[in-house]
Amino acid sequence: MSKSVFSSNTTSFSAGSVIFRQGYPGDHAYIIKSGEVAIIKEHDDGTREQLAILKSGEMFGEIAVMDEVARTATAQANTDCVLQIMAI
């Protein structure tokens, strides 16, 4: 099944804000317009593993959208950031 972008908006997050949580449904992908976003794996024992720091121009959150699965990691603003929201 082919998917296409049907809307695009921008939003801002303050440093430390959670953008989305692992395990939650995902219906948006994001492109970083400015700032940094940490991608974090939350393990069953409560520990957190930082998988990546993403910067301006990078996309994240697309796995849950394209594969129609729950979020595979948590995304948290590492700095103040502006994101383009891609509703697919």
Domain ranges within the chain, ordered by starting residue: 7-87
pLDDT in tens, 1-38: 445 555 679 999 999 999 999 999 988 899 999 999 99
CB atoms within 10 A of CB 27: 12
pLDDT in tens, 72-85: 999 999 999 999 99
Q: Is 7-87 assigned to CATH 2.60.120.560?
A: no
As a whole number of angstroms, the distance between CA 62 and CA 72 comes to 10
pLDDT of residue 4: 53
pLDDT of residue 54: 98
Alpha carbon 12 to chain centroid, angstroms: 13
Alpha carbon 4 to chain centroid, angstroms: 18
